[in-house]
């Protein structure tokens, strides 16, 4: 019987056995995704204790600011790399922005660099009188709290979503209507929307009786955790402590409302509301609640925009998210749990997963977004998605043909050989 205790990265769960007969799962152990390899139990515990203690986090962050080397330092890049990164940021509003390249040029600090750049570009640091030390520390801790050993839900995904959100904020329908508060909220929500994601989905947390599932009563478990984690960092760093308490609480509440909108299980609810507004032409962006709803839809689009990127980028994201699905399925199979849909590498392929996702999730959402904001960007996104879907369809046909040929060869080993043999010219009997 497996007796591995469940722990979250942000806290300890009291020692107990799961109600499930097979497991209490430590995600870090089972995924073997520790960034520095196979650590001992003691060093893993030390890392978690380090993350828990505000004083230690302050010390860690302040040393980073002073440039004192740490176990995981924020390296200073040479001028070539930092220069190229600055050049890329000049085109941060381009839809073909290569976040993978930008992450390399910033030495894995794409989320910090991009978010700080956008906040400065909009003048939000000055406008909201944000303390630069506190802001820097907040961004460092946000990036640190993403699990970069997750193939997909990591800080690069958060940076990609933040860049996409910026593209949407620049769209005429939004840029002429949103307030500075809306923009600040949208950027922070994009940067923190998957904070401390464990690399498995909500059904997995529920069926393994994870304490987060019980804490949030099996409802928007991950999204609630992302939101609360973000609020924890805001309070720990005191980023908005200079604001009136009511304003700070409103910011936390509105941030949660945006992050909770990314729950894919509520996709149809939001899409239905959006469609109704568009059908009735009832969206009024002078209305604060309507602007907030549009921000929710923008974040939802940014979160799942990978199928709308150019093929070279979209394909990389598709491979990463599928691998994360399959890793969860491997864990489920290993522990004799029912393998979740899309997570079985033996019955699913990246092609059918992507085609299904585009057909049933992405196309309906981006079709409605294009009705709301009929711009060149919207048409570009729909165009890329159509081409990407066709590309996955072509690859699927190739794989099917190869599979069928292999099955024929297995069934009749001589069949392929006999078909390929031809009587040499001139050897036929007359």
Residue set of the binding site? 153-157, 193-194, 303, 354
Buried b (16+ CB within 10 A) or exposed e, 318-357: bebbbebbbbbbbbbeeeebebbebbbbeebbbbebbbeb
DSSP letters, 250-302, are HHHHHHHHHHHTT-GGGHHHHHHHHHHHHHHT---TTSHHHHHHHHHHHHHHH
- Six token digits for residue 416: 């392929």
Residues flagged as binding site for Zn(2+):
157, 193-194, 303
Binding residues for AMP: 153-157, 194, 303, 354
Say how many C-beta atoms besides its own lie within 10 A of residue 189's C-beta. 30
Burial of 291 (0-12, 13-18, 19+ CB in 10 A): buried
Residues 6+ apart with CB under 8 A from 136: 61, 65, 112, 116
Q: Give catalytic status of residue 153 as yes or no.
A: yes
Given 60, 153, 197, 226, the catalytic residue: 153
155 with 72: CB under 8 angstroms? no
How many residues are listed for the chain in this entry? 430
Q: Known catalytic residues? A: 153
């Amino acid at each position: 019987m497996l007796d591995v205790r469940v722990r979250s990265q942000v806290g300890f769960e009291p020692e107990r056995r799961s109600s499930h007969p097979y497991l209490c799962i430590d995600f870090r152990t089972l995924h073997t995704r520790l960034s520095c390899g196979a650590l001992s139990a003691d060093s893993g515990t030390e890392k978690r204790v380090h993350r828990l203690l505000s004083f230690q986090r302050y010390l860690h962050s302040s040393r980073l600011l002073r440039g004192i080397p740490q176990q995981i330092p924020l390296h200073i890049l040479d001028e070539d790399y930092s220069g190229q990164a600055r050049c890329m940021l000049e085109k941060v509003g381009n839809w073909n922005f290569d976040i993978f390249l930008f992450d390399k040029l910033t030495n894995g600090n794409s989320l910090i660099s991009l978010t700080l750049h956008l906040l400065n570009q909009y003048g939000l640091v000055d406008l909201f009188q944000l303390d630069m030390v506190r802001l820097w520390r907040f961004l460092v801790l946000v990036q640190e709290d993403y699990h970069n050993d997750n193939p997909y839900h990591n800080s690069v995904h958060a940076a990609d979503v933040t860049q996409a959100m910026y593209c949407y904020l620049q769209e005429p329908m939004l840029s002429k209507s949103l307030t500075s508060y809306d923009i600040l909220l949208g950027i922070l929500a994009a940067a923190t929307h998957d904070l401390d994601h464990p690399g498995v989905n909500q059904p997995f947390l529920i069926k393994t009786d994870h304490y987060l599932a019980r804490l949030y009563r099996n409802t928007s478990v991950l999204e609630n955790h992302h939101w609360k984690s973000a609020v924890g960092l805001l309070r720990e760093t005191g980023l908005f402590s200079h604001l009136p308490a009511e304003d700070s609480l409103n910011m936390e509440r509105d941030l949660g409302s945006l992050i909770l909108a990314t729950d894919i299980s509520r996709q149809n609810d939001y899409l239905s509301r959006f469609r109704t507004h568009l059908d009735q032409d009832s969206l009024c962006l002078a209305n604060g609640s309507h602007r907030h709803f549009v921000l929710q839809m923008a974040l939802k689009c940014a979160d799942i925009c990978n199928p709308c990127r150019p093929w070279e980028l979209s394909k990389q994201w598709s491979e990463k998210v599928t691998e994360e699905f399959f890793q969860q399925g491997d864990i489920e199979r290993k522990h004799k749990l029912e393998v979740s849909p899309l997570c079985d590498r033996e019955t699913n392929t990246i092609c059918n997963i992507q085609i299904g996702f585009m057909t049933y999730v992405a196309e309906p959402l981006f079709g409605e977004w294009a009705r709301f904001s009929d711009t060149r960007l919207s048409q570009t996104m729909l165009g890329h998605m159509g081409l990407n879907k066709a590309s996955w369809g072509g690859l699927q046909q190739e794989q099917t043909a190869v599979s069928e040929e292999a099955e024929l060869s297995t069934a009749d080993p001589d069949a392929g050989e006999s078909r390929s043999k031809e009587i040499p010219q001139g050897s036929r009997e007359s």
